[in-house]
Amino acid sequence: MPSRKRSNGEGSIFPYRNGFAAYVWVIKPDGKRTRKYVYGKTREIVHDKWIKLHQQAKAGPVATTVPTLGQFVTRWLVEVVKPNLAPLTYSTYETFSRLYIIPGLGAKRLDRLQLRDVQVWLNNIRDTCQCCAQGKDAGRRPAKRRCCAVGQCCNDFVSGRTISDIRGALRSALSRAITEELIGKNPAADVKLPAARSHKRKAWSSDEARRFLESARADDDPFYAAYVLVLVQGLRKGEALGLTWDDVDLDQAEVTIAWQLQRVGGQLLHRETKTEGSDVTLPLPPICVAALQLRQRQQQEARSAAGNVWQSSGLVFTTRYGTPIEPRNFSRSYDNRIDKASVRRITVHDARRTCGTLLADLDVHPRVAMAILRHAQFSITMEIYTQVSSKATRDALKRLGESLDG
């Protein structure tokens, strides 16, 4: 009959209160040797936990105390998110943690956080004026206070999309806690959220896009080429502002999208695009080549005028002194151009959805358009090409590009 005697350091399972407990001798991260306990209602449950704990002890140091959610999230942001994820992702997670997660759930011990705790917390965020909760109005100068600080709630409630994003940040943190074997289940995974309303996507017609570009061209707008790249190439605002001359080949009529410009946490960052899938070399239709040639001439004139104060950045779109464009300033210029062109007000992100229709109106070959639009199937591109504009609009768009050479 085999011996049931355990080896030294193997630990023990014993009755404890209304169930069982077990311990294993472990080495803590500080190098000290101590017992770590596990608990459960049945001996079988505890035995499984004991086996797992024993394996952890063999693998390396084991933490013997469970941190609060606030302590864990703070460490997670510093050790996991900031060094490994995009700066904007870190900034977003840090904001959600500081404003919502830590104040609401931070004192809860990590392994005692339950689904109901998360559900009630999110419900409270949704139903609470955040101006009141965060003391926003109290932080304003007395003359500027207009709601909570003067006894009049402004009903500053967060959107359903923001609630979902806050839950996403918490779920990501708790997934890491599972990886580190601090908890066994993610209590944020099955939380019920209100249905977020999906807003109808907007885009300009070819005629509206033409009027917008003609207005910018007529005024020699320094952002004219950026507007062309957004509308005809489908570039995002950050991609257009982060474009460098090294990534533009006017002789081969190609542009490589590999960089973006972002304002994150008070810093203006020129960094790689978010994913490898965003990096692509695109063919440039003639209107884009002409617009970029114009931009070259504009920048050369600005460099000559600036003289010694010019700061070379290699960027296509710069201030009159060669420095990067502040994204908010670009958005303001875009909004002002909309007013001057008398077209519908839509966002820069919405404007890039006009890209497919413009390519069809410019008689860009469908296979080239497929590459620009980054469609996986040719049939999707052809659906757009069946929705062309009037001959007058098509001819006007072509003349717009051709007029730059004159």
Tens of pLDDT along 98-145?
Answer: 999 999 999 999 988 999 999 999 999 998 888 878 878 777 888 788
Considering only residues 9 and 249, tell me which one the structure prediction assigns the higher pLDDT. Answer: 249
Q: Among 186, 211, 164, which Cα is nearest to 351's?
A: 211
Confidence at residue 389, expressed as pLDDT on a 0 to 100 scale: 58
| Structure confidence by residue, pLDDT tens digits, 373-382 | 666 676 765 6
pTM more than 0.85? no
The token pair that represents 88 in the structure block? 């904007």
The token pair that represents 166 in the structure block? 């806050």
Check: CB of residue 41 under 8 Å from CB of residue 19.
yes
Give the per-residue SS3 of the chain: CCCCCCCCCCCEEEEECCEEEEEEEEECCCCCEEEEEEEECCHHHHHHHHHHHHHHHHHCCCCCCCCEHHHHHHHHHHHHHHHHCCHHHHHHHHHHHHHHHHHHHCCCEHHHCCHHHHHHHHHHHHHCCHHHHCCCHHHCCHHHCCCHHHCCCCCCCCCHHHHHHHHHHHHHHHHHHHHCCCCCCCCCCCCCCCCCCCCCCCCCCHHHHHHHHHHHHHCCCCCHHHHHHHHHHCCCHHHHHCCEHHHEECCCCEEEECEEEEEECCEEEEEECCCHHHCEEEECCHHHHHHHHHHHHHHHHHHHHHHHHCCCCCECCECCCCCECCHHHHHHHHHHHHHHHCCCCCCHHHHHHHHHHHHHHCCCCHHHHHHHHCCCCHHHHHHHHCCCCCHHHHHHHHHHHHHHHC
| Structure confidence by residue, pLDDT tens digits, 125-138 | 998 888 878 878 77
Give the per-residue SS3 of 193-226: CCCCCCCCCCCCCHHHHHHHHHHHHHCCCCCHHH
- CATH 1.10.443.10 for domain 206-405, yes or no, is yes
| Structure confidence by residue, pLDDT tens digits, 348-403 | 988 877 887 777 777 777 777 677 766 667 676 566 555 555 665 556 656 655 55
Longest dimension (CA), the chain: 100
The identity of residue 321, as a single letter, is Y
The identity of residue 229, as a single letter, is L
Question: What integer is the mean pLDDT of 150-174?
Answer: 89
Q: Among 326, 316, 327, which Cα is nearest to 236's?
A: 327
- To the nearest 10 degrees (0 to 180), the angle between helices 286-306 and 224-233 is 150
Confidence at residue 406, expressed as pLDDT on a 0 to 100 scale: 38
Q: Enumerate the domain spans of the chain.
A: 12-59, 69-179, 206-405
Output the CA–CA distances (angstroms, integers) from residue 2 to 5, 6, 203, 206, in the order listed.
Answer: 9, 11, 77, 84
pLDDT > 90 in the chain, percent: 46
Question: What is the C-alpha to C-alpha distance for residues 392 and 208, in angstroms, rounded to an integer?
Answer: 13
Question: What is the C-alpha to C-alpha distance for residues 360 and 366, in angstroms, rounded to an integer?
Answer: 8
| Structure confidence by residue, pLDDT tens digits, 305-315 | 999 999 999 99
Question: What is the C-alpha to C-alpha distance for residues 367 and 260, in angstroms, rounded to an integer?
Answer: 26
Residue with tokens 């084991």: 62
Confidence at residue 390, expressed as pLDDT on a 0 to 100 scale: 62
The token pair that represents 49 in the structure block? 């936990």
The token pair that represents 124 in the structure block? 């409270």
Binned at pLDDT 50, 70 and 90, residue 3 comes out as very low
- Go through the chain and tell me how many residues it has: 406
Check: CB of residue 227 under 8 Å from CB of residue 334.
yes
Confidence at residue 270, expressed as pLDDT on a 0 to 100 scale: 87
Output the CA–CA distances (angstroms, integers) from residue 76 to 29, 71, 82, in the order listed.
Answer: 17, 9, 9
